Amino acid sequence: MHRRLPEVREVDIATLKTDPTFVFDNKLVNTYAALNRGEVKVGVTRMATTEIHAGFFRREADGSITHVQNFKASRASGLTEAIRNGLRPSLDLQWSPHAPGGGGYVCADDEYSLAAYRDLNIAVVPCRVLRPKPISGSEAALWIDPKGKLPKLVRTVPPKLVAVATYFGGREVGLADAIPHLKELCAATMARVECFHKDEGHDVHYHQMLHAVVRRHARALDTIQLLIERGRREHGLAICRLAYEAFLNFYLDWLAPQLIGPRLQLIAALRQSESAASRGKDPAWYVLTNFTDLLEKTSDKARLSPLGSWFHDAIYHSLSLVVHQSYSGLELEAGNFAEDVEQSQENFADRRLVQCLDMLTAALLTRVNNEVGGPDEVRGLGGVSDEEPRS
């Protein structure tokens, strides 16, 4: 069975040993107490390690600022191996006005996880921002209300988009060249995931998910190429929409692997087992609280996508007309008894399809490569584009 967390077992709190030299961040202690009472919201997101300060900053009686860190290199072993086995620990962050540069996010309680991510060159990491600010970051954020036994979604914040990643940039690349190149990038990424993964008994399947999502994307690219070569452009466009929706699910899963992945898994199991008469009646739906709408509505997921709502508005509508068999497709072939249809009459031009697949593949592979410490020349892009796909 697909798992995201290893087995958890209870231990007697009296058996836990504490470090007598550990310096507590009183602000964090108070925040955790408020969190336990359900008084603090949590923003689940991803953040670059370069934006995070290890430890915390404390103002002294004389007005000076002290940077406090509890990290000890001698105790750092184990977490890098756990991450390479598939664990993705979330870092608890707080905003500190005392951080350099006018303030920043500090990581006082998860210094060892932060160090392990940095050692593995995983540049953008899962975080829980305690008392989050209602401003957009580089990645989307899900605000969670911790009240009660099960978490509830209270707000979603889309990412701040400056440009959209692309391998081809503004270059004109034909379908015959573009798709094989994108498939090669997928193959290189899958190989990198396999190389990074260590299987040492943790029984966590996060890396297997990464590999599978890239493999399925590469398969979609291959199918699109084969269908278009056979003159089945309409069917190829339907596969393009399939790949886009798969990416939207992946992005939310990548954003919070330990929160979203198990919920997507549960929704899939519930949908597969229900009938028309039993739809929505299984008590297991209760576990999902109000996450169901976000995880099942394409428009809600698209709003949080790093491809932006404009990508969804420009691309998804056209692809939906194909998938839902708009009458215009029938009219195109109903004017005479000829078998072939002029490709020039097709709505979705080659240039637009290349642009769509380029952005989609870049958005997927850059995030998967991030998870396995991919080198900059792979995560780095052939260019960026702020040009919106034209309808």
What are 286-316's pLDDT values in tens digits? 899 999 999 999 899 999 999 988 788 877 7
CB 204 within 8 A of CB 4: yes
Q: Which of 84-98, 99-113, 219-233, 347-361 has the lowest mean pLDDT?
A: 347-361
pLDDT of residue 231: 82
Strand ranges of the sheet holding 52-54, from the earlier edge strand across to the other edge: 52-54, 104-107, 91-96, 124-130, 42-48, 141-145, 152-157
Residues in Cβ contact with 371 at an 8 Å cutoff, skipping those fewer than 6 apart: 88, 122, 193, 196, 206, 207, 210, 254
* SS3 of residue 382 by DSSP: coil
Segment 58-80, tens digit of pLDDT: 999 999 999 999 998 877 778 99
Segment 10-60, tens digit of pLDDT: 899 889 888 889 999 999 999 999 999 989 999 999 999 999 999 999 999
* SS3 of residue 123 by DSSP: coil
Burial of 11-31, coded b for 16+ CB within 10 Å and e otherwise, reads eeeeeeeeeeeeeebebbeeb
* SS3 of residue 53 by DSSP: strand
- pTM beyond cutoff 0.85: yes
The encoded tokens of residue 325 equal: 């068999």
Closest C-alpha to 152, from 3, 54, 53, 44: 44
